[in-house]
Structure 1
């Protein structure tokens, strides 16, 4: 299971979201690809007002405030559907 995490440096919500994702990695086996929206104009334009953004299987599953329980539930259910 691979998540794509869009954020940028000096973003308190992004840092908080990363910590939550790291806690979830202790619960379930997921790989996280971190993408800095400042490295790509398209990402910057698309996600600037939404970050942090978590994408799974080409679908945005969470953005803004990352909630531990909601994200863990979504990922656990996705894992069970496999």
Structure 2
């Protein structure tokens, strides 16, 4: 299995974002993934693009999953 890197768009006080990051951490315990967390409130371009979609999991400019991101969703992406 190859190492995968993602961009994870989030913002403070976002319950769905916290859940999604928890799922990323769980998957990372068993799979070679890493992510860069980007706070959309600190990035005007990301805020415009994703404010209604967060959390967003993106790779190479492509949105892989957004909104309710669960453990199985992440496994399907990396499989």
Among residues 63, 67, 71, which one is paired with 1:60 in the alignment? 63
Q: Which runs of no fewer than 5 residues in structure 1 stay unpaired? A: 77-82
Could you say which residue in structure 2 is the equivalent of 1:7?
10
The structure with the greater share of residues assigned to helix is 1
| TM-score normalised by the chain length of structure 2 | 0.90
The number of equivalent residue pairs is 76
Alignment of 1:8-23 (within 5 A): 8-23=11-26
Please give the alpha-carbon distance, in whole angstroms, between the structure 2 residues aligned to 1:74 and 1:44. Answer: 24
| TM-score normalised by the chain length of structure 1 | 0.87
Q: Which runs of 4+ in 1 moved over 3 A?
A: none
Q: Which runs of no fewer than 5 residues in structure 2 stay unpaired? A: none
SS of structure 2 residue aligned to 1:62: strand
